[in-house]
Amino acid sequence: DAGVIQSPRHEVTEMGQEVTLRCKPISGHNSLFWYRQTMMRGLELLIYFNNNVPIDDSGMPEDRFSAKMPNASFSTLKIQPSEPRDSAVYFCASSSNRASQETQYFGPGTRLLVL
Amino acid sequence: GQNIDQPTEMTATEGAIVQINCTYQTSGFNGLFWYQQHAGEAPTFLSYNVLDGLEEKGRFSSFLSRSKGYSYLLLKELQMKDSASYLCAVKDGAGKSTFGDGTTLTVKP
């Protein structure tokens, strides 16, 4: 299996621009998680989906952030408009809640820099 | 909500043993995970505990006491490549996992 796939791996954009991050979970996994990691705040859960349905989006910072999961093999995290404080590494992770322990497998992350 | 505490930094010597502690307060408990994260890389799974006791996996072991809200990760025969951040994560009853801020371990020769 290729593991969790994220694109792009790096993104540099200017304040005010729209940013779209993409994730393909591991085939067969039915839970998907979006995290943000910074030095100041550590690893924060933004939102997670179970069977393509958003379960908990309490970690989404504000209305500028939105996430979708149109099918079991694809999810997007969109920031519009982007701000310099959004600069971080964004990880997507997937797991299977059919497994006893539901280990989360992380993608390589998208390193976002907003100028 | 959930609160997870672990030391910010630790230093140990190659070949030694180190114990990284994690305490948590959670509403509902459905398991505790330890992840390893090397600089510039994604977290990778190390261990999972849901029942009290010790789980051993090679050089790494993880312990859980649910009544005390306490876990530790034990690393034996330390190697230079073990220098990384170690993240404690607790899953609540609703299936949501909250991560601690991580402990940065530096292994010195």
Q: What is the pLDDT of residues A58-114, one digit of tens each?
A: 889 889 999 999 999 999 999 999 999 999 999 999 998 766 667 899 999 999 999
Tell me if B43 and A45 make a contact (CB, 8 A cut-off). no
Q: Does the beta-carbon distance from B94 to A56 stay under 8 Å?
A: yes
Distance of alpha carbon B34 from alpha carbon B56, whole angstroms: 13
pLDDT at A20 over 90: yes
Q: What's at A87, amino acid-wise?
A: S
Structure tokens at A28: 């067969």
Residue pLDDT, tens place only, B70-101 = 999 999 999 999 999 999 999 887 778 889 99
Q: Residue B15 above 90 pLDDT?
A: yes
Cβ contact, residue pair B43, A106, below 8 Å: yes
Residue A97: what pLDDT? Answer: 74
Number of residue pairs across A and B with CB atoms under 8 Å? 47
Q: Is pLDDT at A49 greater than 60 in this prediction?
A: yes
pLDDT at residue A1, as a whole number? 63
Q: Is the peptide bond before B7 cis (omega within 30 degrees of 0)?
A: no
Two tokens, residue A84: 């310099």
